[in-house]
Structure 1
């Protein structure tokens, strides 16, 4: 945990710095005195620092959303490592290169948000104009909730509300002297996360550039959380949130989904929350686009499972490239960058929430709550039609609950693969028998989550037990 704490402390540097408000500029200094946040201007600066953690801006001044795009798709069986097998491709989670994914980065984000919240709570409301104080706090609480939910999804037994193995919740800024803390139960984790999200829904701005948090993004995050919470009373709420976003927000489905990734990026009307590349990022050599094509320090490729799923689908023509000569059975993954081209601002853009996901989560919630089969089919056909699909035979032939859930899941993969982990979480939400049918290497729910990093037990012995099936 000590190394994590040092990283967390470094994360706070980005929350309390004097820097330009644009995400395209790095901070100019690194003041961390407790009185740094003294008015609205410095609060905005500190909030921008929290967004740097969300965007995973590295020391090279590039956004590094690799862990959001790659590991979930690897675990679900659709992407792989292009220079050789990666243990996560067989769901050997303890040995996976990605076993620590999300741990440090999520706590970096949470700690930065907590630093801002602490500073904000010391300020008088009068130093802010209008509702801006409540909005800044709401954005910070969204980002804290996002980080905690990532941790719950990958390191907590999110699928069992009665489990003691939830998240190590952090609601205060961490210093070396305040490391020791036990993890919370799954129930308490959900309660804490949802409280933050509800505050964001109530107080976040309705209209901001789509690389900042809005109440619509908060609604989208709540939909994800409730789908994992998976109680009968959750599904009507998911439906209502989806309807509110679809009917009341400015977001609309892109006429051609390909254009999001090849032409428009954050200019797409479908993007609810995205990650804006840093200034001149596309010119840097070690960017994620180059890890997809042609391969730099790493190479992340489409596996046969994704190629087969997209067979006959128009998306295959632009998402799947030629065979990878470095490893048989894999192909270049070209969702973000055309084969034979160089990185651009658009190819370096990442996506946390898009409107397509809202429709698909609504469809899944309708199935789980006994909604209209014809309405579910209509949603699927609408989303698939925007990708150029015209053959809906599988949708029309899906008559029982399991088959409908399967069809929604398959479209989540085709539409959202390698964006922000939904291909993995949607797979795990399926009935266990169907999950194993689709992903035979998932033999036990132990494999649904990752082991807590070893160092956490060394420097925070109060955390409690390791996740079942793993060694400390």
Structure 2
């Protein structure tokens, strides 16, 4: 069954990648100068750049390497490499590391080609309505977003900013840039994009939510300035406010509508993956949804943790719990919930499997996330009383009472918990724990009991584990890559 998952995942990604003119240099022989002559060439290349969001990392492993790696979810399923993620025993030879690394760099490569080739296109159609500059802005945003994924997971990584035109290792093998250098490049790309992208491309939400806009750029800038080690909360506040006050008119909606499958491209959405079925489908829901919905009888992945369920119950957060977690009786053994079968929770923000061809989506950015970042920024800037307002707005829409936190320390914990309950299964938790400096305390303080042994799980979390090991396959290929501390 594990092999079935892998093959279907590869098939889904391959169909998405081959359905359009996306396999550009250096991935295929389409890298000739005359491949980039017209406006349609530029648009086709941009479609290919966006299609990277349909690869496995952005569908699936962004959840595993955030929510499963943290206190939110167990790995579930039957994949030893995901068990290692869950138990924080990740080694450089874990193949998922190399897959993720390669897929993200594929996205960077496609963005690099656009940024290099599109300025040379003289087709007058590309200059209509400032379209050439918009294409470049979208490509710069995408490159920044991919580097943001890399730097969060690995720290400093090689900065590849031009198309690779030679197979010579001297041209392709680069040493790691520092973490600060990677973040500086991300900010440079986002500032470039911000001057070239509109608040909206028109009145069609399926276009505005699918593509990079000013709202998406400002959202990513807010997250970048919060996440980098020398964080700047004045900048976080500036860019969060730009999102909240955007002419695009983002606003909170009914929490249930966010995940019922019928209200995508909604007013709260800033940017989201656009799965429409067929070759453009999301195969992830089949891996996590219960037998009554998926039609499968095998053990599912991304199982909500007892600690996450407790967090919802302690807060009395019935609205978000019901939209995020579904319990169902199963026949298999779950080492944390039921030996020999019983009631087990399932990740529930995706709700339709549709035989490996779901149209359920992930949000890349949504307003509540940015509002809570604003609350965080205000609190860290010593404006704790003001921080309560955006926090309470997020709480009010799920019928929770205003926060009782009044000190900066109490507010910090309140915001962290709110983000956990609001954004579970959305690939945010690990970033939050590291940003708050709480990853070690939280993971080592968990009281998770393996029912097979009745022993508490020891996650042995250390500071070094906040970063992943550089994939061994990539280090074998590129001898200039150093390993992160704590790994062999």
Same-fold call, TM > 0.5? Answer: yes
Number of equivalences: 426
Q: Label 1:304 to 1:246 Cα distance change in 2 as closer, same or farther (>3 A).
A: same
Output the CA distance in 2 between the equivalents of 1:363 and 1:460: 42
The one-character-per-residue Cα deviations of 1:327-378 (angstroms, maximum 9, x if unpaired) are: 1434333432449x8579886211110011110111111111111x222122
From 312, 320, 329, give the equivalent of 2:325: 320
| Whole-angstrom distance in 2 between the partners of 1:16 and 1:416 | 32
**RMSD, matched Cα:** 3.0
The answer to whether structure 1 residue 71 and structure 2 residue 81 are counterparts is: no
**1:55–1:14 Cα change, 3 Å:** closer
Q: Are positions 1:309 and 2:311 aligned together?
A: yes
Higher alpha-carbon deviation: 358-367 or 30-39:
30-39
User: Counterparts of 1:287-366 in structure 2 under 5 Å?
Assistant: 287-294=283-290, 299-311=301-313, 312-314=316-318, 315-322=320-327, 325=330, 326=332, 327-330=334-337, 331-338=344-351, 342=354, 348-366=360-378
Change (3 A) 1:182 1:266: same
Q: Give the Cα–Cα distance (whole angstroms) in 1 for the partners of residues 245 and 182 of structure 2.
A: 31
Q: Secondary structure at the match of 1:93?
A: coil
Aligned equivalent of 1:426: 432
- Give the conservation status (yes or no) of the 8 Å contact 1:54–1:143: no
**Alignment match of 1:368 (pick from 380, 388, 410):** 380
Q: Which residue of 2 aligns with 1:391?
A: 401
Q: 1:14: Cα distance to partner?
A: 5.6
Partner of 2:30: 31
Of 291-300 and 352-361, the range deviating more from structure 2: 291-300
Distance 1:384 1:168, change over 3 A: same
In 2, Cα distance between equivalents of 1:430 and 1:375: 20
Partner of 1:201: 194
* Residue segments in structure 1 that go unaligned for 5+ positions in a row: 1-6, 20-28, 157-165
Residue 171 of structure 1 is matched in structure 2 by 161
8 Å CA contact retained: 1:64, 1:287: no
CA distance in structure 2 between the aligned counterparts of 1:347 and 1:439, rounded to whole angstroms: 34
Q: Cα offset for 1:462?
A: 2.0
2:484 to 447, 452, 467: 467
2:464 pairs with 1:446: yes
Alignment correspondent of 1:435: 439
Deviation at 1:221, TM superposition (A): 0.7
- C-alpha distance in structure 2 between counterparts of 1:202 and 1:91, whole Å: 41
SS in 2 for 1:426: helix
Where do 1:95-244 residues align within 5 Å?
98-100=96-98, 102-124=100-122, 126=124, 127-156=126-155, 166-174=156-164, 175-177=166-168, 178-208=171-201, 209=207, 210-231=209-230, 234-244=232-242
Alpha-carbon distance, 1:214 to partner: 0.7
The match for 2:204 is none
Cα separation, partners in 2 of 1:443 and 1:69, compared to 1, 3 Å: closer
Q: Aligned pair in 2 of structure 1 residues 360, 344: CA closer, same or farther (>3 Å)?
A: farther
Give the structure 2 partner of residue 22 of structure 1: none
Tell me by how many angstroms 1:207 deviates.
Answer: 1.0
Provide the residue aligned with 1:4 in structure 2.
Answer: none
CA shift in 2, pair 1:344/1:83, >3 Å: closer
- 1:68 and 1:103, CA in 2 relative to 1: closer, same or farther beyond 3 A? same
Q: How does 1:221-300 map to 2 (within 5 A)?
A: 221-231=220-230, 234-280=232-278, 287-294=283-290, 299-300=301-302
Secondary structure of the corresponding residue to residue 277 of structure 1: coil
CA–CA separation in structure 1 for the residues paired with 2:307 and 2:97: 22
Structure 1 residue 39 displacement after superposition: 1.9
Kindly state the Cα deviation for residue 458 of structure 1 after the two structures are TM-superposed: 1.6
Report the alpha carbon displacement of residue 92 of structure 1 after superposing the two structures with TM.
Answer: 2.0
In structure 2, the CA distance between the partners of 1:307 and 1:342, relative to structure 1 (3 Å rule), is farther
Which of structure 1's runs of 4+ aligned residues deviate more than 6 A?
Answer: 343-346
Tell whether the 8 Å contact from 1:181 to 1:462 is kept in structure 2 after alignment: yes
